[in-house]
Structure 1
């Protein structure tokens, strides 16, 4: 962790953390903080330490896959962190050791009066999750799906997967929509959101399922329709270079179909689809030393008087993209680059 005199002074921000294959977002407003998913605890603890945060008002787990929850038990049990409330939905289809450990730790701490545990992470919880200037709105699942939960094909509603039940969380900073966090939302879950007319608009979208398969017959169409519904200015893919070939090219193509070349696209780590050759473990330049596996790395979304702003800055991200063999986040028209995260938004 960094020393106290190295901590930043930003008070209201959403951090999309580079955790490899998985999702983890840390949203904070001074001493108040919200965490959405935590597959690995160390990157989150480092991010909290940088801003002097030791309290998580709400720990929200979108669904029970390991790449969203594996670090949650360790976070709750950490001696130097206070987690006030855990929000997660039941899922009897998940038999992973990590999920059982999570529930065991939560039950123990709840029994000792150390944490409030809420198993109703659905639209009915809206209003209970806000924290200082951080607004947390659950857009999915709705009451019908939440009451049913994951099902097999014999149910009257048909099959509902854990991914389909993934909580879709919209973060608002100082009253304005900022980031949409859909977890691993699949095509059927998205169709249900469309059916009930959910407003999904947000300037930043962390694309569901790390840019992998959506469960739709046509992944490109799924990406196109989701991008049209959200209308983001920035799309982030939180994935690990060593795990899968994400984001899939047809997903990128679908986003471009909907939004053209003006939308910015950023990956936390370099995709093997963009660069198949080996990468050095780290690189050093005038911006410091950082993991060469990172593309944009961790991203910071902040609220300003003129709207939502994001970083990293131009030189770090562009320098990485320039070195890749076939970066999907770029399009070329007569040698002009459109679509890479070129600047912090003014």
Structure 2
């Protein structure tokens, strides 16, 4: 049983499995996911969850559903009439066709009302946002009694629980207004691992540092992961990392799936310690696997492996003088 945060370049993809069955949250590129499933001996996706309709979260979904060697039992996504991308229309078309042939269940109600319906074996999947009110309204443009709600604001926030305890928070591209709504209704967001929203980019807040600081305080993670691509943006933004440090100090561990150009603008140093493949060649921490242990939650590759890359970077934001390399064992907070 493990939750894998996959290195997919700029985007998000998580594969959580318990034996041959699993749950997938977002899939911008299908190849890294298929490789992870093959390594785990898994060929069945009980639930394919798409946090929102941006291409860097959904572009590989149609290919996954149509794959000959993978069975996707159910698709969960929210409607979004503001998204006009080909990828979104394609995945809905494939889903509609497979649903008509009795090959997949499709649910367009990914919100807190789905609580309990997404579990898979010993893996618990909780939707913390959107709530019923926001889900019923959906993304809005122009004048509306609730004001403007963006696709990012509607992004599903998923908490993965392993053996009954919070393990990983997956907020998709949650923005400042969506986060404010979660705080307004008193959502418990705590988890030992946080995959930071919007790949460490702009939050939609007037002050990105304050957004990061308040989110870190709400989640109280011991490991923060930025899932981003080296070639796309200068993520994570420095003010985001600074906000996390403001809230949690130097003890919080920070890891990026790929080497950020903000940390190393020059061509990458020798990557002989990394595995082969387009994404792995650009990896910093690479794909990470989160597992439950008797002591809490552990992650691998651990800090010592990550340090091999970090040592060669020009200005790594994840490192402070006070942070030391350790075994990568985190203490999970009990519910």
> By the TM > 0.5 criterion, same fold?
yes
From 286, 289, 293, the counterpart of 2:282? 293
Counterparts of 1:50 and 1:160 in 2: how far apart (Å)?
39
Shift of 1:51: 1.0
From 262, 271, 274, the counterpart of 1:283? 271
Shift of 1:313: 2.7
Q: Which residue of 2 aligns with 1:9?
A: none
Counterparts of 2:135 and 2:276 in 1: how far apart (Å)?
45
The question of whether the paired residues in 1 share the 8 Å contact of 2:296 and 2:329 is answered with no
Q: Residues 281-300 of structure 1: CA distance to partner in whole angstroms, max 9, x if unpaired?
A: x7224x76573410000000
The question of whether the paired residues in 2 share the 8 Å contact of 1:279 and 1:292 is answered with no
Counterparts of 2:157 and 2:303 in 1: how far apart (Å)?
30
From 103, 109, 113, the counterpart of 1:124? 113
TM-score (norm 2): 0.96
The question of whether the paired residues in 1 share the 8 Å contact of 2:275 and 2:281 is answered with no
Of structures 1 and 2, the one with the larger relative CO (CA 8 A, separation 6+) is 2
Aligned to 2:92, the other structure's residue is in SS state: helix
Aligned to 1:64, the other structure's residue is in SS state: coil
Q: Which residue of 1 aligns with 2:302?
A: 313
Counterparts of 2:275 and 2:71 in 1: how far apart (Å)?
32
Q: Which residue of 2 aligns with 1:329?
A: 318
Counterparts of 2:212 and 2:304 in 1: how far apart (Å)?
29
The question of whether the paired residues in 2 share the 8 Å contact of 1:318 and 1:342 is answered with no
Q: Residues 212-266 of structure 1: CA distance to partner in whole angstroms, max 9, x if unpaired?
A: 0000000000000000000000000000000000000000000000000000000
Shift of 1:279: 1.5
Q: Say whether residues 1:94 and 2:79 are aligned partners.
A: no
| Residues 1-346 of structure 1: pairs in structure 2 closer than 5 A | 12-279=1-268, 283-285=271-273, 291-332=280-321, 337-338=322-323, 342-345=326-329
Mark the runs of 5 or more structure 2 residues left unpaired by the alignment: 331-335
Counterparts of 1:304 and 1:329 in 2: how far apart (Å)?
25
Counterparts of 2:247 and 2:303 in 1: how far apart (Å)?
25
Aligned to 1:86, the other structure's residue is in SS state: strand
Mark the runs of 5 or more structure 1 residues left unpaired by the alignment: 1-11
After the TM superposition, which segments of 4 or more aligned residues of structure 1 sit over 4 Å from their partners? 287-290
Q: Residues 301-346 of structure 1: CA distance to partner in whole angstroms, max 9, x if unpaired?
A: 00011111111134421010000000000112xxxx417x643217
The question of whether the paired residues in 2 share the 8 Å contact of 1:87 and 1:121 is answered with yes
TM-score (norm 1): 0.93
Counterparts of 1:154 and 1:28 in 2: how far apart (Å)?
43
Measured at CA, do residues 325 and 203 of structure 1 come closer, stay the same or move farther in structure 2, by a change above 3 Å? Answer: same
Aligned residues: 328
Q: Which residue of 2 aligns with 1:5?
A: none
Shift of 1:98: 0.1
Counterparts of 1:210 and 1:144 in 2: how far apart (Å)?
26
Aligned to 1:127, the other structure's residue is in SS state: coil
Aligned to 1:135, the other structure's residue is in SS state: strand
Q: Over aligned residues, Cα RMSD in angstroms?
A: 1.3
Counterparts of 2:190 and 2:305 in 1: how far apart (Å)?
29
